[in-house]
Structure 1
Amino acid sequence: MPWHRCLWRKTRKPSKEFVVHASGNVTFAVVGFGYWGPHLVRNILLCEGAGVAWISDQDDARLQEAGRRFPGIRATPSLEEVLCDPGVDVVAIATPVHSHHALALKALREGKHVFIEKPLTASRRQATEILAVAAQFGRRVFVDHTFVFTPAVQKMRQLLLSHELGRPLYYDSVRINLGIFQHDVNVVWDLVTHDIAILDFLLQGTMPVTASCTGTAHFGSQHADLAYLTLAYEDDFIAHINVNWLAPVKVRQVLLCGDRKMVVYDDNSASEKIKVYDSGVNVRQREDIYEMLVQYRVGDMHAPRLETTEALSNEITNVVEALRDGAVAVADGEAGLRVVSILEAADASLRLGGISVPIVPLDLAALLDGKRTQLDGDGLRKTKPHDDLTPSLHR
């Protein structure tokens, strides 16, 4: 069985109204041709059953670059031109976070599915509205949580689900490098997003109970460039995430510890990204003298063989199969909403000096029902198609 079909959690199969084609290609339009857009175009073109009809950006130099690199694809500064094309199935949005909400709503109301760069939106309210509009128009939302499609993270989830690691105890991540400073979001929204998406995938959608985040902004910037986030889950599981734009070296390392075995994931390693250690502790309580007896267990280490496929390629394949064949979407809008909800709590804690902020559990059905009522009441469904976008929306 292909790797991308064997590990997704069981969920309701999409209804027929969500499927684009019974056969044939799924056609994308890529909006935003900055850093990430070219990667999207390249991987879509390499995916069997997918194609790119349009590249859209409001920067003339980027459009010229798109024409040079992909001469067979139409390039335009006009989002209206893209959305008017009935041959476009999916609009892939690779623009700054603040523009995701407006662009996604326009695409959904024109009957397009959307594939949105992480994070889904800049707030839980915006994410909920996108999901509500998608449901109203019978369209689907996918979020670009690329790391959950890496063979390494897939292996970590397999080790958890097979209980080889035992009961999960903690997740500790260091994600630091020099830059890239973002102009529209802080380091939490930029880098922590990856780890929260990984945790959401590993824990099958289980959300933390509280978030506590400290950090600081140097050089007079309003956006924190260094942060430390702690997420507390039920059953004493805890996650700690260190992110930094000011480190002299690039570190991408995750420790996932269970009470049987431990995993070290080094994304910078060329050959052994995952190492599994048969190490841990055995604790026995001696009630007669009220003390714990701790025995340390140090066993072998092995580095499992991983596939060498590119994560973004795997992700595009999953989107295509979800739309064409009704396969389960891995990083869907609900996953994006959960990630944004945790980011919002972490950001609130950061602004409040690190106090513990409770994370409200998601009742998606109630959220969507409330948002649908609001949309019907305030007339947002009657928004005119092709309203002009400000020039700042495209990265």
Structure 2
Amino acid sequence: MAKRVETRVAVVGYGYWGSKHVRVLSTMPDVDVVVVDEHAERLEEAVAYYPSVERTATSLADVLDDVDAVLVATPPAGHADIALQAINAGKHVLVEKPMATSVADAEAMVLAAAVQGVQLMVGHTFEYNAAVRQLRDIIRSGTLGRVLYIDSARLSLGRYQRDVNVIWDLAPHDISIASFLLDELPVAASVWGDRNVTPWREDVAYLRLDFPQTRAFVHVSWLNPNKVRRTTVVGERKMAVYDDMSDNERIRIYDIGVDPSSIDDPHSAHERPVSYRTGDIVSPFVPFHEPLMAQDRAFVDSVRTGVASETPGERGLDIVRVLAATDAALVTGRTAPVLKPSQIVPGVRAVS
């Protein structure tokens, strides 16, 4: 029997998300985990919690020649430089969301991966969530009818970030979920945001995303007493709610709605009551699989097989393009178009 060959993955950044990736990867028998963080005390903590960690280092350069892949879980401002360093060394890369903090950097990463012939994957974890996938199947089946709009809320107290605002921190999840559910990208974005605790970062925001056939509304906040992770899909026939904070009813389908015939005639709208329809509430069974485990397993499989994952770099670039439109909308106070990818020319951005 041939000896199993382990895939050696360097996790760069042992913070909130990096520690979660180390936990997940450490459970995979075909993966050797290397942890990289500039803070020595974090490396000591990683080894204490996960004795199977093979090696630690304070610099990626110290281990880059000895690994097969790199997982970037640093603050977003460092994503592009670290990813490009790894890609240009011929390593496969999984980068946390947002993939980069500018469209130019995201495009450079996609181009570099193509030039080097390596896999580039983005950490859109909710696209590997069993409930989100089941909700997409429900929409595709026609159970809800035509989607009228999507409403999404991602709220909590913190975690305040130093290099991005609340939109770039939290909304990548909701943008990717809405896009995943509808199988299309928004074409424009409108934004209202406010800065309450610091004068330089929005900590609460409301987004309107215009899709070709419908709209999505997103509320994100670092300044809310309740932790909320909820997506509502309103259809012509039925409505569905995905609540990621629920232990046993993560999806609920409501057979309720409004009879449009009762409000079609503007002359009679005030003469008779609107007709509402109410029916059953169904909570379909959703098997639990940890989304981060599914995502990181997909990355390892992509590294080993050379087959692109379901969330490749191009997908990350798409979401960064939408985020860039939210920046433009914040500055102008007007609806901003989601610009198409620029024509990428040969040449890879140098790592600073």
- The TM-score, its normalising length taken from structure 2, stands at 0.91
**Using the alignment, how far apart are the partners of 1:151 and 1:225 within structure 2?**
29
Contact preservation (8 Å) 1:47, 1:313: no
2:17 to 30, 36, 39: 36
Residue 167 of structure 1: CA displacement? 1.3
RMSD: 2.2
Q: In structure 1, how many angstroms separate the alpha carbons of the residues matched to 2:174 and 2:290? A: 18
8 Å CA contact retained: 1:30, 1:52: no
Between the aligned partners of 1:296 and 1:328, the Cα distance in structure 2 is 47
Higher relative contact order (CA 8 A, sep 6+): 1
Q: Which residue of 2 aligns with 1:279?
A: 256
Structure 2 counterpart SS, 1:214: strand
Residues 201-220 of structure 1 mapped to structure 2, 5 A cutoff:
201-204=180-183, 206-220=184-198
Give CA deviations for 1:207-262 in whole Å, capped at 9, x if unaligned.
21211101111234300011111111122x11111111111121222111111221
Taking the aligned partners of 1:99 and 1:242, their CA distance within structure 2 comes to 26
SS at match of 1:84: helix
**Aligned-partner Cα distance in 1 for 2:226–2:194:** 19
Secondary structure of the structure 2 residue equivalent to 1:330: coil
Q: In the alignment, what sits opposite 2:203?
A: 225
Where in structure 2 are the equivalents of 1:325-344 lying within 5 Å? 325=305, 329-344=309-324
Say whether residues 1:253 and 2:230 are aligned partners. yes
How many residues align? The count is: 345
Question: Does residue 262 of structure 1 match 2:239?
Answer: yes
Q: How far 1:123 moved relative to its partner? A: 0.8
Query: CA–CA distance in 2 between the matches of 1:288 and 1:105?
Result: 59
Determine the C-alpha separation between the residues in 2 that align with 1:200 and 1:286.
31
In structure 1, distance between residues paired with 2:151 and 2:264? 32
Q: Where does structure 1 lack aligned partners over 5 or more consecutive residues? A: 1-22, 390-395
SS at match of 2:87: helix
Q: After TM superposition, give the deviation of residue 285 of structure 1 in Å.
A: 8.4
Alpha-carbon separation, structure 2, partners of 1:53 and 1:111: 18
Residues 157 and 224, structure 2, Cα contact 8 Å, conserved in 1:
yes
Q: Which residue of 2 aligns with 1:153?
A: 132
- Provide the residue aligned with 1:95 in structure 2: 74
2:120 to 123, 137, 141: 141
Instruction: State which drifts further: 114-123 or 151-160.
Output: 151-160
Paired residue for 1:372, among 339, 345, 348?
Answer: 345
Identity within the alignment, % = 39
What do residues 116-138 of structure 1 show as CA deviations (whole Å, max 9, x unaligned)? Answer: 01100001111001000100000
In 1, the alpha carbon distance for the partners of 2:238 and 2:297 equals: 32
* Closer, same or farther: CA 195–209 of 1 in aligned 2, 3 Å: same
State yes or no: 1:242 paired with 2:206: no
* Compared CA separation, residues 135 and 175, structure 1 to 2 (3 A): same
**Deviation string, structure 1 residues 329-353 (Cα, Å, up to 9, x no partner):** 122111101111101111221122x
Report the 3-state secondary structure (helix = DSSP H, G, I; strand = E; otherwise coil) of the residue aligned with 1:66: helix
Q: Is the 8 A contact 1:276 1:302 kept in 2?
A: yes
Residues 166, 202 of structure 2: 8 Å contact kept: yes
**1:169-227: CA deviation from partner (whole Å, max 9, x where unpaired):** 111012111111111110000111110111121122x1212111011112343000111
- Tell me, in whole angstroms, the C-alpha distance in 2 between the residues paired with 1:328 and 1:166: 32
Distance in 1 between residues matched to 2:318 and 2:299, nearest whole Å? 19
Structure 1 position 52, deviation (Å): 2.8
Unaligned runs of 5+ in 2: none
Return the alpha-carbon distance in structure 2 between the equivalents of residues 151 and 261 of structure 1: 21
Name the aligned partner's letter for residue 333 of structure 1.
G
CA pair 158-233 structure 1, distance change in 2 beyond 3 A? same
Q: CA deviation at 1:48?
A: 5.4
Which whole-Å deviations, capped at 9, do the CAs of 1:333-386 have from their partners, x for residues lacking one? 11101111101111221122x311111234xxxx4xx4333x2xxxx57x5xxx
The answer as to whether partners of 2:126 and 2:291 remain within 8 angstroms in 1 is: yes
Q: Tell me: CA distance 1:299–1:60, structure 2 relative to 1, closer, same or farther (3 Å).
A: same
